[in-house]
């Protein structure tokens, strides 16, 4: 079967097609005929070699991709709630040639759920990883209805899902945006939109002089957001950042790999997409053979929604 990956790390042009054996589904597993795979920043990090130490024990090719959608084409023993031909989406934890940029993929059944009704493969592929990351961030921040959360990177996939989920749970949302994204972020449900940038903490304090109880830091500002947080507050970070913050503030790194088998949470997100709580935003679709172009576009910045590779 065809996969797109790398046998050496570097810029987008190192991505190329490989032929690898089609895997078989074992007990508790599902094999997918992948139709669409979303392109995420973590994919560009894998390709560039940022995770090279972690990948050293796996022979190439190294195949990126954490979000896929497609059709079930084989069921392992003990999987009785899906059927061959079902249209599904899934979260993938890449390892070696096992990654989302693949024509075929075997996954634990607990990583796979049916697609939201009425959407295509490309749209469904934008949901699993980013929405589960947003869900985990909110669970860690653990705010009751009526409290305020600040969200950086709100125009992005993770930040946008945090805004929408937070509003659905009765939270007040202060979100950042560039001037061209202000209406987008408002449409996602933000109550207050402030200017983005390294000084976003000052903008948040202008709205909340005593500071906010929690921030979901999708823009990866790390310690720069601390001045916006009140004493005893919480910060959810998405690249594993943690530090001694002081003032009783705690960091809560979000590792979506820990959520890869949280099937009930993923299925709840499916329902919320069907209900209109979550928007599935496709920026552009490209043939899988043009993965390098997708990586170049993502790294150039300004992409709103997800780029999606189609197989």
Of the chain, the end-to-end C-alpha distance in Å amounts to: 11
Provide mean pLDDT across the span 26-43.
98
Please indicate, yes or no, whether residues 31 and 51 belong to a single structural domain of this protein: yes
Nearest in space to 185 (alpha carbons), one of 173, 197, 198: 173
Please indicate, yes or no, whether residues 149 and 239 belong to a single structural domain of this protein: yes
Q: How far is CA 298 from CA 66, 90, 258, in A?
A: 15, 22, 25
Q: Is the pLDDT of residue 169 over 90?
A: yes
pLDDT digits (tens, 9 = 90+) for 192-217: 999 999 999 999 999 999 999 999 99
Provide mean pLDDT across the span 45-70.
94
CATH assignment at residue 114: 3.90.180.10
Q: Which range of residues forms the domain containing residue 82?
A: 2-127+280-310
Please indicate, yes or no, whether residues 207 and 234 belong to a single structural domain of this protein: yes
CA-angle at 40, arms to 255 and 113, nearest 5°:
70
| Mean of pLDDT over the chain | 96
Please indicate, yes or no, whether residues 56 and 30 belong to a single structural domain of this protein: yes
Q: Determine the pLDDT at residue 138.
A: 98
Please indicate, yes or no, whether residues 136 and 122 belong to a single structural domain of this protein: no
At 55, the pLDDT band (50, 70, 90 cuts) reads confident
Please indicate, yes or no, whether residues 137 and 22 belong to a single structural domain of this protein: no
Please indicate, yes or no, whether residues 194 and 243 belong to a single structural domain of this protein: yes
Please indicate, yes or no, whether residues 101 and 168 belong to a single structural domain of this protein: no
Using a pLDDT cut of 90, give the percent of the chain over it. Answer: 94
Longest dimension (CA), the chain: 59
Please indicate, yes or no, whether residues 150 and 227 belong to a single structural domain of this protein: yes
Provide mean pLDDT across the span 112-137.
98
CATH assignment at residue 148: 3.40.50.720
Pairwise CA distance, residues 233 & 249, whole Å: 5
Q: Please state the domain count of the chain.
A: 2
Q: Determine the pLDDT at residue 239.
A: 82
Pairwise CA distance, residues 14 & 10, whole Å: 6
pLDDT digits (tens, 9 = 90+) for 10-23: 999 999 999 999 99
Please indicate, yes or no, whether residues 116 and 135 belong to a single structural domain of this protein: no
Q: Is the pLDDT of residue 245 over 80?
A: no
Please indicate, yes or no, whether residues 119 and 139 belong to a single structural domain of this protein: no
229 within domain boundaries: yes
90 within domain boundaries: yes
Please indicate, yes or no, whether residues 12 and 51 belong to a single structural domain of this protein: yes
Q: Determine the pLDDT at residue 203.
A: 97
141 within domain boundaries: yes
Q: Comparing 55-59, 210-214, 268-272, which segment has the lowest mean pLDDT? A: 55-59
Q: Determine the pLDDT at residue 86.
A: 98
Q: Determine the pLDDT at residue 283.
A: 97
Pairwise CA distance, residues 133 & 254, whole Å: 7
């Amino acid at each position: 079967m065809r996969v797109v990956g790398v046998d050496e790390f570097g810029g987008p042009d190192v991505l190329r097609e490989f032929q690898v054996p089609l895997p078989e589904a074992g007990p508790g597993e599902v094999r997918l005929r992948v139709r669409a795979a979303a392109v995420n920043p973590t994919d560009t990090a894998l390709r560039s070699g940022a995770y090279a130490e972690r990948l050293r024990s796996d022979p190439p090719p190294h195949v990126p991709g954490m979000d896929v959608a497609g059709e079930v084409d084989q069921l392992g023993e003990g999987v009785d709630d899906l059927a061959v031909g079902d249209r599904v989406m899934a979260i993938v934890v890449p390892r070696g040639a096992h990654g989302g940029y693949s024509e075929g993929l075997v996954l634990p059944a607990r990583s796979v759920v049916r697609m939201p009704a009425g959407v295509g493969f490309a749209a469904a592929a934008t949901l699993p990883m980013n929405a589960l990351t947003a869900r985990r961030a909110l669970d860690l921040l653990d705010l009751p209805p009526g409290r305020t959360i600040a969200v950086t990177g709100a125009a992005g996939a993770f930040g946008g899902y945090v805004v929408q989920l937070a509003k659905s749970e009765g939270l007040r949302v202060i979100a950042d945006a560039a001037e061209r994204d202000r209406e987008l972020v408002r449409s996602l449900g933000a109550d207050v939109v402030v200017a983005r940038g390294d000084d976003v903490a000052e903008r948040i304090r202008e709205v909340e002089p005593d500071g906010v109880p929690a921030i979901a830091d999708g823009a990866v500002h790390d310690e720069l957001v601390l001045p916006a947080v009140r004493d005893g507050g919480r910060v959810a970070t998405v690249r594993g950042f943690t530090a001694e913050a002081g003032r009783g503030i705690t960091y809560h790194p979000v590792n979506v790999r820990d959520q890869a088998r949280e099937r009930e949470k993923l299925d709840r997100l499916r329902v919320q997409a069907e209900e209109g709580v979550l928007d599935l935003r496709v920026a552009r679709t490209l043939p899988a053979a043009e993965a390098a172009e997708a990586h170049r576009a993502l790294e150039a910045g300004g992409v709103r929604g997800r780029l999606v590779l189609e197989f």
